[in-house]
């Protein structure tokens, strides 16, 4: 079945450093969503990407969808302690089981 691989699993950065998490699939994706889960909290929707090569920004967060629609990335510029949490990608395959498949998540720790 379709799988979505997310790397790295963990990342520790110093406050002010940049951070990137990657989401990869062996199959073409119809769309991809990104969620953030704060420690002890629940996943919260951040953004959805649909178009090949799409780039969207939310303040210090930049989301990209690959040209081949098989990968995506989330980049945070100048991390802050408020960025701490686990970031999940969730994708719908173009072969379409009709279900979103979540990646394993990348847990970000930020040292002040």
- Does position 10 interact with other proteins (CB under 8 A)? The reply is no
- Does position 39 interact with other proteins (CB under 8 A)? The reply is no
Place of tokens 């967060």: 61
- Does position 88 interact with other proteins (CB under 8 A)? The reply is yes
**DSSP string across 43-71:** EEEEEEE-STT-EEEETTEEEEE-TTSSE
Task: Name the segment binding other proteins (CB under 8 A); options: 15-23, 52-60, 74-82, 95-103.
Answer: 95-103
Q: Report the SS3 class of residue 104.
A: coil
| Widest pairwise Cα distance in the chain | 44
Residue ranges binding other proteins (CB under 8 A)? 6, 9, 30-31, 33, 35, 41-45, 48, 88, 90, 92, 98-100, 102-105
């Amino acid at each position: 079945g379709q799988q979505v691989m997310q790397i790295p699993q963990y990342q520790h950065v110093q406050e002010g450093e940049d951070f990137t998490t990657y989401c990869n699939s062996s199959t073409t994706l119809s769309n991809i969503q990104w969620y953030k889960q704060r420690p002890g909290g629940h996943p919260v929707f951040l953004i959805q990407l649909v178009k090949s090569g799409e780039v969207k920004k939310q303040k210090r967060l930049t989301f990209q969808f690959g040209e081949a629609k098989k990968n995506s990335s989330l980049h945070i510029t100048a991390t802050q302690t408020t960025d701490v949490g686990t970031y999940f990608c969730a994708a719908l395959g173009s072969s379409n089981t009709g279900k979103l498949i979540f990646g394993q998540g990348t847990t970000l720790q930020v040292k002040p």
